[in-house]
Structure 1
Amino acid sequence: MRLADTEFTSRPWRVHDVAPDFALEDVWELPTPGGPDDLDRLVHAFAGGDGSAVRGGIVGFLFAARWKLGELFGWDAPGKGVGDRVHSLRERLPSDLADGPRGPDVASLPFTSVFQTHDEWVAELANGTVHALMHIGWVPDEAGVYRAQMSALVRPNGWGGRLYMALIAPLRRTIVYPRMLRAIGRRWQEPARA
């Protein structure tokens, strides 16, 4: 379920201090109920996933189309990523975050982990269109059940990046994220059913 931006902006996340120049695109609640110490389990399940949340059906088609466009326009060419076109967010980390757990890289998508705390995980990617952050926060609801909130933060690469983000926003919000989050929720519930 999509959430109000204030669900991200009103919380004291460490990423606010590290990435003030990134714009918030979306905030989503993940169907991942758990306890106060379950963020690490979610992060490892998410990062080590087989990519099934983005394969098959219309979501798989949209991702395949994006990779093909990236190939044609050179968006994903060598020299366009983190460490080449943009500096890694890790270079901005204060010492407590830099020396702390980094978290796992995402196996099925080109995201590299930046930092992980008890209630926050940030991973980044960069290409010819954007430098993007995926922020997963672990928050309790009124009943004390914890759930993940996924936020997307971006720094577009010029007018082309801004146009790209505007063009994909309807697809991302109506098709990709809702279906991807349902798949994550199904996967999250599997250990409980086993």
Structure 2
Amino acid sequence: MRIPKAAHTAQPWRIHEFTHDFRIEDVWSFRAPGAGRDDFPVMLDALKAAYDTRKEPAAVRFLFSVRWKLGGLLGWENPRAGLGRRVASLRDRLPRDLARTAKDATPCTDPFAEVYLLDDEAARELANKTVHDIMHLGWVPTDDGGYELHMAALVKPNGLFGRLYMAFIAPFRYLLIYPALTRQWEQAWQDRTRLLAKTDPAD
């Protein structure tokens, strides 16, 4: 569910300390029935396991296929336009106590790189020719005593081209991408026992 940006800014997240030049593009919440205060790592691991086994709707697969093909043709994903080349990684801004936390994160095959990981929040990033994007995940208490996941997309568009690109994809994000993501992430929480059993090194 899409929620006000104030739901992100009102939280005492560490991400606020070093992203003043990024804008908050979207904030969404994801239900996690029965979750407790210490379940944030469980949720993150379930999301990463679900990424490798996901079955996206045909419309979403088509959109991403078109996006990646265009990116390849137009050089949007050229390494020279990414982290450490066109833009510095957010990790270069981290205070020492955060900088050492990314190594504790469970690896994932998605395009995002780990920035930091704490008991109740995490940040990941990607950059290409269009934008530098931060995905912030936070674990937030609910009124009924449980917890839910909040995801904030923080972006720094690459000039006019990046701003036009973000405006162009906005309808697709709201009508297709985020609803599909909501179903996948909330289902990942429901299926966490099965998903994490598949990735257990002891198996």
Q: State TM-score, norm by structure 2.
A: 0.89
Contact 1:31 / 1:147 at 8 angstroms: preserved in 2? yes
More helix by share: 2
Q: Which residue of 89, 104, 107 corresponds with 2:106?
A: 104
Name the residue aligned to 1:167.
168
Matches for 1:108-147 after TM superposition, within 5 Å? 109-147=110-148
Name the residue aligned to 2:91.
90
Q: Structure 1: 5+ residue runs without aligned partners?
A: none
Matches for 1:60-99 after TM superposition, within 5 Å? 60-99=61-100
Contact 1:105 / 1:112 at 8 angstroms: preserved in 2? no
Instruction: Write the distance in 2 (CA, Å) between the matches of 1:145 and 1:189.
Output: 15
Contact 1:53 / 1:184 at 8 angstroms: preserved in 2? no
SS state of the match for residue 38, structure 2?
A: coil
Shift of 1:193: 8.1
Contact 2:47 / 2:189 at 8 angstroms: preserved in 1? no
Instruction: Write the distance in 2 (CA, Å) between the matches of 1:110 and 1:81.
Output: 11
Instruction: Write the distance in 2 (CA, Å) between the matches of 1:15 and 1:191.
Output: 27
Name the residue aligned to 1:16.
16
SS state of the match for residue 37, structure 2?
A: coil
1:70-123 CA-partner distances (Å, limit 9, x unpaired): 01111001211111111111110011111234423431x210010011110100
Shift of 1:13: 0.7
Instruction: Write the distance in 1 (CA, Å) between the matches of 2:168 and 2:154.
Output: 16
Contact 1:106 / 1:113 at 8 angstroms: preserved in 2? no
1:120-152 CA-partner distances (Å, limit 9, x unpaired): 010000000000000110000111100100110
Contact 1:104 / 1:112 at 8 angstroms: preserved in 2? no
Shift of 1:192: 5.9
Contact 2:136 / 2:152 at 8 angstroms: preserved in 1? yes
SS state of the match for residue 37, structure 1?
A: helix
Q: State TM-score, norm by structure 1.
A: 0.92
Instruction: Write the distance in 1 (CA, Å) between the matches of 2:171 and 2:146.
Output: 31
Contact 1:122 / 1:134 at 8 angstroms: preserved in 2? yes
Contact 2:30 / 2:149 at 8 angstroms: preserved in 1? yes
When structure 1 is superposed on structure 2, of 72-81 and 111-120 the one drifting more is: 72-81
Instruction: Write the distance in 2 (CA, Å) between the matches of 1:158 and 1:190.
Output: 41
Against the structure 1 CA distance between its residues 51 and 159, is the aligned structure 2 distance closer, same or farther, given a 3 Å change threshold? farther
Instruction: Write the distance in 2 (CA, Å) between the matches of 1:160 and 1:139.
Output: 35
Against the structure 1 CA distance between its residues 149 and 20, is the aligned structure 2 distance closer, same or farther, given a 3 Å change threshold? same
Contact 1:32 / 1:185 at 8 angstroms: preserved in 2? yes
Instruction: Write the distance in 2 (CA, Å) between the matches of 1:157 and 1:136.
Output: 23
Shift of 1:43: 1.4
Letter paired with 1:104: T
Q: How many residues align?
A: 193
SS state of the match for residue 48, structure 1?
A: helix
